[in-house]
Amino acid sequence: MPSLMTSTMPIELLGEINSYIAIGIKVVCAIFVGAVIGLDREKKLKSAGIKTQILICLGATLFTLISLLNYQYYINTNPSDPNRVAAQIVSGIGFLGAGAIFQQRGLVVGMTTAAAIWIVAALGIAIGSGYVFSALLFTLTTLIVLNMIEPLMRLIQPEKHFILEVIGSDDGLKRLSRKLDELETNIIDQQVFSNKETSKSNVHLDIRASNREFKRIIEYCNSSKSIEQFTFQVTK
pLDDT at position 1: 47
Q: What is the pLDDT of residue 167?
A: 87
Q: How far apart are CA 42 and CA 8, in angstroms?
A: 37
Q: What is the reported pLDDT for 26? A: 93
The overall pTM is greater than 0.75: no
Least confident window among 2-11, 66-75, 220-229 = 2-11
Percent of the chain with pLDDT over 90: 19
For the segment 67-90, the average pLDDT, to the nearest whole number, is: 69
pLDDT for 60 equals 92
Cβ-based burial of 55 (10 A; exposed 0-12, middle 13-18, buried ≥19): middle
In contact, 230 and 167? CB cutoff 8 Å: yes
What are the pLDDT digits (tens) for 13-24? 888 988 889 989
Q: How far is CA 214 from CA 133, 161, 208, 221, in A?
A: 38, 10, 9, 11
C-alpha closest to that of 128 among 68, 79, 81, 88: 68
Could you give the strand order of the β-sheet that contains 186-195, starting from the edge strand earlier in sequence? Answer: 186-195, 200-209, 160-169, 227-235
Residue 77 — pLDDT band, cuts 50, 70, 90? low
**In whole numbers, what is the pLDDT of the chain averaged over residues?**
81
Domain 160-235, CATH: 3.30.70.260
176-232: pLDDT as tens digits: 888 888 877 888 888 888 777 777 888 888 888 877 788 888 888 887 888 888 888
Domain ranges of the chain: 8-155, 160-235
